[in-house]
Structure 1
Amino acid sequence: MGIIARFRDFKAIGLIGVLGLCVASMAEASPASFTIKNDNPLIHLHGRWDSSPGTWWAGSGFKLNVQDLQSLTLNLGPHTTQPLAAVGVSVNYEPFRTINVTEGANAIPLSASSTTLSLKKRSQSVVRINVEGWQDNRINLETIGLNAGAKLLPYTPQKLAFQFIGDSLSAGQYCPDGVDQAWTFLTGEDFKAEHNINAQPGAALTDIVSYGNEHGVSYQFFRTEDTGYYYTTDHNYTTPWNFARDQPEPTHIVIHIGANDNSQGVSAANFTQTYLTFIKNIRVHYPHQPIFAFTPWGWPNSDGSIGYYYQGVYEQIVKDRIATGDHNIFLVNTTGWVTWADVFPSNQHPSPSGHIKIAGLFTQWLNNWGLKAEKNWETPALV
């Protein structure tokens, strides 16, 4: 319900302002530079990357810690989404900005805002880059160019790391800045945490065809590629994901899914069994991490009513897991979290302000549960 079957004319969320954001000239010019190969171990990759290397799944990207940074160029290969892909860029932990990139050399604007010190006054800078789109979100990283005199340093990840699993309601579908405006991404930022987001718009948890997705999340979560593999003729296969590549290993798992199972007519009994099997399979990789299972916040209507689905099912799933001896799974009751004022009227998906509200409510829930945000970034931006 409410999911459009993978429109191919959606060319990177964040096209608004494309002329203003594709501004290589904004990058500070450097008379000379040196090149970092894509296999440099000091490039801290997060999310899912294939062997090209290229990104899959919204939010995948990398972090850099650079001494004496003045300019940065991304040299991207032919697997990059054409004509462009929208990426979020954050320098020194400032809010993410949308930059559109394409195959070839892309000079990334690094100028700090008026509220912070300029790059020239910093001896150590942290750059975070991720793909924003819920589809058409591939960047094929070949090399990174830095200004002469810059030095790549190790990036130390945060001790707290979220793994989010879901569908369009977790991927930021329809938001101008895509996943960077989603409650999942915002929650990770609120806690100063690392965060991987595996969310497929239109996908059911059950392994069925759903709104253009050839597989359900119960299958695709364990693969490198997202559902876009099916439409990408140069890479139309699925590769088992090596969970050892998740560095750091997630400390907390968050699942919000089921809307598309309900829309596809999956019975409550079948959905329950699929969910229980999915958690069992997750426990192979994450045996001890807390799992937070969201109940649906439903589909708000203009008359104030809410269309709920699988009522009571999530409560039973958690009870069934606890009965097996899994005492590290918790129900997050989201009833009443989202109203008509929090969604796009045309599709009932959370608007940017709605995602902010959801992130705030979940942050409060986690605080009450006992989880607190990290006080500092492990890799600081130093003056």
Structure 2
Amino acid sequence: MWSLSRLPVFGLSFLSASATILQNGQPRITTFPDTRIDPSSYSFNTHPRNASEISYKGRWDSKYVSWWSAPGIQFGYTGQIVAVTFGNWTSDGVLVGYRISGLDWIFTNVTAGGTHLFVSPETPGSDLMAPISPSIFELRVTNWAYGIQIESVHVAKGEKLIRIPDYGRRIEVIGDSLASGMYTSYEGLSSWAYGLGAGLGNTEYSITAYPGICAADQNCWGNPHGQVHQWFYTSDTSPRASVMYGDNPEPWDFSKRPAADIVVINIGTNDQNSHNNVSTTIYIDALTRIIQGIHGKWPKAQVVVMSLWLGFYQSGNTYLPNAPQGFVNEIYHMYKWFNSDDYLRNPIVYDGVTKKTLKTGKKTKPFVHYFNTTGIMQHNDIGPQWHPTDVGAIKVASHLQQFIKMTFGWEFYATGPEVFHETEYWNDESGY
């Protein structure tokens, strides 16, 4: 993970991003290319940031600034040149991952106001047009607290961008630091939430998760609002959002994208912490309203509520999970209530912007499901800071994929392209 991730989230926006990745407390050797160029030295065909060929993934505001975890852009292109000019609202030095089609991720730090050359004839894979044409360019922001602003996209003179159609199924993850990728190596691009969406294959995914945030709408670890409020807005609860929007963030226009088919919710560890003083009643009420809000915005979406985990402690010559601090039985009872005849006959929807609740008067089918995380991770799958390791994140994502396959019949389509970067560990020494 980046060393800056260890700092309180409320101080992040005033610091320069670092490229240091800590691996078991030691810096990992990285060779990120320096991609910044002088655009006047190139002959480009330039496309504005609102070009219809550019697909924006995750949440982006009207200024084309990215928010939340692992947002990105994608487009097809001809030729062997791709460059991007970033606007001044880009977090200076933020680490981004980019790749050509299904090849491995490459990482680089980008600069506010700078132009960066991501694909050239020297880029591995830039000359590979088979088995499909055109090539596909994808870029994702790694860090949950930082973001980028797209100013323009460039290809070689005489070449063009091509819009790549969206996949036919969509998944959304709502959460906190556990979902956003805090303390994993490449943060958002090493999180279980990203692994779930990307690992399913042929799936559009969005991760509205931010460290320290509660479900309840109150200040938690410097976050001024909880997800029962913030999920309805474009921006997250970061300091840069406060600088940019103050108390008037843009409500998220749910009509901008097709509805999610599945929404996974993993939130409550910050509500559970005594530091934030959230009662069980307030937490369950907030979680209930989040689900009612999802049903109001996306009436056909299926909601998966995850149980929470709190790490392990050593007990004698073994390790045991920390005793639950509440919410375990309450989350399960809430799930059962959503599936009760009384609720299904007259469901309630909620709007987090207007704070209104409304009984629809329309009978609905069960749409809330429960995913029990017990037994998935062992003590060595959770790091010293109480968050999943890279392997722990992979295990959570893998189990969720199987749950989704068994529950909703979704097949797996990711059959080759890299999902998690730098997790290829192997041994080829046979002489033991």
Scaled by the length of structure 2, the TM-score of the pair is: 0.79
> CA distance change for structure 1 residues 113 and 183 in 2, over 3 Å: closer, same or farther?
farther
- Answering whether residue 368 of structure 2 is matched by residue 329 of structure 1, we say yes
List aligned pairs for 1:47-66, cutoff 5 A: 47-66=58-77
> CA distance change for structure 1 residues 73 and 15 in 2, over 3 Å: closer, same or farther?
farther
Q: Does structure 1 retain, via aligned residues, the 8 Å contact 2:198–2:414?
A: no
- Answering whether residue 393 of structure 2 is matched by residue 355 of structure 1, we say yes
Structure of greater relative contact order (alpha carbons < 8 Å, 6+ residues apart):
1
SS of residue paired to 1:301 = strand
Percent sequence identity over aligned pairs: 23
CA drift at 1:21: 1.6
**1:224-279 CA distance string (max 9 Å, x none):** 11111566424334111101112x43111100000000112322222111211221
- CA distance in structure 1 between the partners assigned to 2:30 and 2:329 by the alignment: 49
In structure 2, give the amino acid aligned to 1:265. N
Q: Does structure 2 retain, via aligned residues, the 8 Å contact 1:45–1:61?
A: yes
- CA distance in structure 1 between the partners assigned to 2:204 and 2:252 by the alignment: 19
Q: Which of 273, 285, 293 is the matching residue for 1:273?
A: 285
CA drift at 1:202: 0.2
- CA distance in structure 2 between the partners assigned to 1:99 and 1:54 by the alignment: 18
CA drift at 1:59: 1.2
- Answering whether residue 329 of structure 2 is matched by residue 312 of structure 1, we say yes
Moved more, 280-289 or 359-368: 359-368
CA drift at 1:31: 5.5
List aligned pairs for 1:1-383, cutoff 5 A: 5-6=8-9, 7-8=11-12, 11-12=16-17, 14-16=19-21, 20-24=31-35, 32-66=43-77, 68-82=78-92, 84-103=93-112, 104-109=114-119, 118-119=127-128, 123-136=133-146, 138-192=147-201, 193-229=203-239, 232-236=242-246, 237-246=248-257, 248-263=258-273, 264-303=276-315, 304-307=319-322, 308-309=324-325, 310-323=327-340, 324-325=343-344, 326-345=365-384, 347-373=385-411, 375=413
In structure 1, give the amino acid aligned to 2:107. T
Where do 5+ consecutive residues of structure 2 fail to align?
Answer: 22-27, 345-364, 416-432
Q: Does structure 1 retain, via aligned residues, the 8 Å contact 2:173–2:209?
A: yes
Q: Does structure 2 retain, via aligned residues, the 8 Å contact 1:91–1:128?
A: yes
- CA distance in structure 2 between the partners assigned to 1:283 and 1:376 by the alignment: 29
CA drift at 1:180: 0.6
Q: Does structure 1 retain, via aligned residues, the 8 Å contact 2:310–2:386?
A: no
CA drift at 1:69: 3.0
CA drift at 1:361: 1.4
CA drift at 1:306: 1.5
- CA distance in structure 1 between the partners assigned to 2:251 and 2:96 by the alignment: 25
In structure 1, give the amino acid aligned to 2:378. T
> CA distance change for structure 1 residues 120 and 155 in 2, over 3 Å: closer, same or farther?
closer
Q: Does structure 1 retain, via aligned residues, the 8 Å contact 2:210–2:237?
A: yes
- CA distance in structure 1 between the partners assigned to 2:87 and 2:151 by the alignment: 6
- CA distance in structure 2 between the partners assigned to 1:12 and 1:364 by the alignment: 36
**1:4-52 CA distance string (max 9 Å, x none):** 63142775475448983242289xxx95221000111111112111122
Moved more, 88-97 or 100-109: 88-97
SS of residue paired to 2:387 = coil
Report the RMSD for the aligned CA atoms in angstroms: 2.8
SS of residue paired to 1:348 = coil
